[in-house]
Each structure stands twice: as C-alpha cells, then as structure tokens.
Amino acid sequence: KAGVTQTPRYLIKTRGQQVTLSCSPISGHRSVSWYQQTPGQGLQFLFEYFSETQRNKGNFPGRFSGRQFSNSRSEMNVSTLELGDSALYLCASSLSDGSTDTQYFGPGTRLTVL
C-alpha cells in the first residue's frame, strides 16, 4: 500500500498570507491527525479527524483550521501567517478512531514564512 502523502512538500509564504496543506491517508485509513514540528517544541498536536468529524483539537489559535473529506483526505489551512508558523507540518493516518491504533506519518510539508 502507498503510504501517507502530503502536498506540497515545501512552501514559502510571506506574513499575512494564507496557506492550505493537503494530506492523503493510507488507503482504508479513516482517521487523520495533524502536528506542527519545530526544533524547540517537538511535535505539537493540531487536530484530529475521523469520518469528517473533528475529534480533538490542540491549543492553537483559530487561524489554524482543518477539514476531512468523505474519501478521508484532509486539508489544513493557516490564515494570516506569522513568522512563528514556520515549521514542519506532519500528517498521520490511522485505521480507525481506536486508542490502540498506530499512527503512520507522511513526510511532512516544510512551511517557511518570510
């Protein structure tokens, strides 16, 4: 099976712009989670979707939003970009919404805000 794919792999934006990142989960996986990774903070949880419903949300401002489509693909959007939003954004998929499920990660989208 193909792994988790994320597009684009690299993005450069300027402050104030908005950006949309895309994640395609492993075929058959219905749960998608998003994380922000920065050197000083490690992985910070953004949100998690299962069957088009947001199950959990991390402590990020409302500028960060996401959604999941009926085919389980997910997008996250960041509006009014700030310099501090520069990070690696990782998407992970899992089979269902079970607590024992393993998350499988995509390669990430490297966002640079200038």
Please, what is the minimum distance in Å from the beta carbon of residue 15 to another protein? 25
Environment class of 20 (CB within 10 Å of its CB; exposed 0-12, middle 13-18, buried 19+): middle
Smaller CB separation from another protein, 75 or 101: 101
Please, what is the minimum distance in Å from the beta carbon of residue 35 to another protein? 8
Smaller CB separation from another protein, 12 or 16: 12
Residue bearing tokens 């219905």: 30
Smaller CB separation from another protein, 17 or 73: 73
Angle at 33 between CA 80 and CA 91, to 5 degrees: 75
Contact residues toward another protein (CB under 8 A) are 4, 33, 35, 41-43, 45, 48, 55-56, 58, 90, 92, 97, 99-100, 102-108
Please, what is the minimum distance in Å from the beta carbon of residue 103 to another protein? 7
Please, what is the minimum distance in Å from the beta carbon of residue 16 to another protein? 28
Query: Strand (E) positions, 2-113?
Result: 5-7, 10-13, 19-24, 31-38, 42-50, 53-57, 64-68, 74-78, 87-94, 104-105, 109-113
Smaller CB separation from another protein, 17 or 22: 22
Is the distance from CB of 7 to CB of 109 less than 8 angstroms? yes
